[in-house]
Amino acid sequence: MTKTKNSSMSGVRKGVLGFCALSTIGLMAIEPAFADCTRHFYNATDRKWLIDVIDNKGQSDLTKIGPNQTVAYTYTSNMMNGTNGRKTWASKIRIMGPSPENYTQTFPLNIQPDGDCVHIEHPGMSNTGSATVNEPANGDVQLWRAE
């Protein structure tokens, strides 16, 4: 009888281990793809703006955008950091506008589940002011001055 119990328990352990292994493989399979992607910052004003992409380590990548200028920006895989086995992109983007508005907003960045670059999050903000985010594509920023 003891032998049967041990055999039965052994089978249960194998089943649990197999389930854990399959669960881990399943989690890895749904993790988003992390390919570099290029998006654009569009400045439709007559003044200079600054966009600062800050990674999870606090390192900054400041981009100056001149009046009526479009700048291509590449979100790179170097911006990723591992957190509890999950990978994330740069943690935030800060958009700074000219006087007299003195527009300054900071938004978190998240990788899209379908791998479509990053998404600039703006939870609870139905209006992002003088900057339109994620238009025309995720990760894009359009800058304009309110009249």
The per-residue pLDDT for range 81-117, each reduced to its tens digit, is 544 344 454 578 999 988 666 889 999 888 776 667 7
Per-residue model confidence as pLDDT tens digits over 34-59: 578 889 999 999 999 999 988 777 88
- What distance in Å separates the CA atoms of residue 4 and residue 86, rounded to the nearest whole number? 41
- What distance in Å separates the CA atoms of residue 66 and residue 63, rounded to the nearest whole number? 10
Which of 87, 92, 62 lies closest to 77 in space, CA to CA?
Answer: 87
Is it the case that residue 15 has pLDDT exceeding 60?
Answer: no
Within the chain, residue ranges assigned H as helices are 2-30
Q: Which residues pair with 119 in a beta bridge?
A: 110
Is residue 147 very low, low, confident or very high in pLDDT (cuts 50, 70, 90)?
A: very low
Span 13-20, average pLDDT = 50
Give per-residue burial for 13-52: e unless 16+ CB within 10 Å, then b.
eeeeeeeeeeeeeeeeeeebebeebebebbbebebebebe
The string of DSSP letters for 72-91 reads: EEEE-GGG-EEETTEEE--S
Is residue 10 very low, low, confident or very high in pLDDT (cuts 50, 70, 90)?
A: low
Is residue 133 within 8 Å of 120, Cβ to Cβ?
yes
- What distance in Å separates the CA atoms of residue 123 and residue 107, rounded to the nearest whole number? 9
- What distance in Å separates the CA atoms of residue 55 and residue 63, rounded to the nearest whole number? 14
